[in-house]
Amino acid sequence: MSNQMITILVNDSKELQVQQDTFLLKPILAAGIVVPSLCYHKDLTPDGSCRLCVCEIEVKGKRRLVTSCNYPVRDNIKVWTNSEKVQQHRQKLAEMYLGRWPNVKVVQDAAKQCGVTDGSKFRSELTEESDKACILCGKCVRACKEFILCFCYCCSKPPVFIFRKSSWMFSE
Domains annotated on the chain, with CATH: 5-83 (3.10.20.740), 85-122 (no CATH), 138-172 (no CATH)
- What are the tens digits of pLDDT across the range 78-122? 999 999 999 999 999 999 999 999 999 999 999 999 999 999 999
Is residue 78 a contact partner of residue 15, using CB atoms and an 8 Å limit? Answer: no
**pLDDT of the residue at 170:** 39
For the chain, the first-to-last Cα distance in angstroms comes to 33
User: Can you give the pLDDT at residue 46?
Assistant: 93
Query: Is the separation of the CB atoms in 47 and 142 below 8 Å?
Result: yes
Peptide bond before 27: cis, by omega within 30 degrees of 0? Answer: no
pLDDT band for position 166 (50/70/90)? very low
For 134-154, the pLDDT digits (tens) are 999 988 888 878 877 655 555
160 strand-pairing partners: 153
Q: What is the DSSP letter of 143?
A: H
Supply the pLDDT for residue 160. Answer: 52
- What per-residue confidence (pLDDT) applies to 171? 37
Buried b (16+ CB within 10 A) or exposed e, 92-106: ebbbbbbbbbbebee
pLDDT band for position 167 (cuts 50, 70, 90): very low
Q: What is the pLDDT of residues 16-73, one digit of tens each?
A: 999 999 999 999 999 999 999 999 999 999 999 999 999 999 999 999 999 999 999 9
Nearest to 90 by CA among 73, 58, 68: 68
Nearest residue to 28 via CA among 74, 60, 65, 71: 71
| The predicted structure's pLDDT at residue 48 | 92
- Beta strand 160-163 with 150-153 is antiparallel
List the one residue out of 34, 36, 26, 35 whose CA is nearest residue 107.
36
pTM as predicted: 0.82
- pLDDT in the model for residue 13: 93
pLDDT attached to residue 144: 79
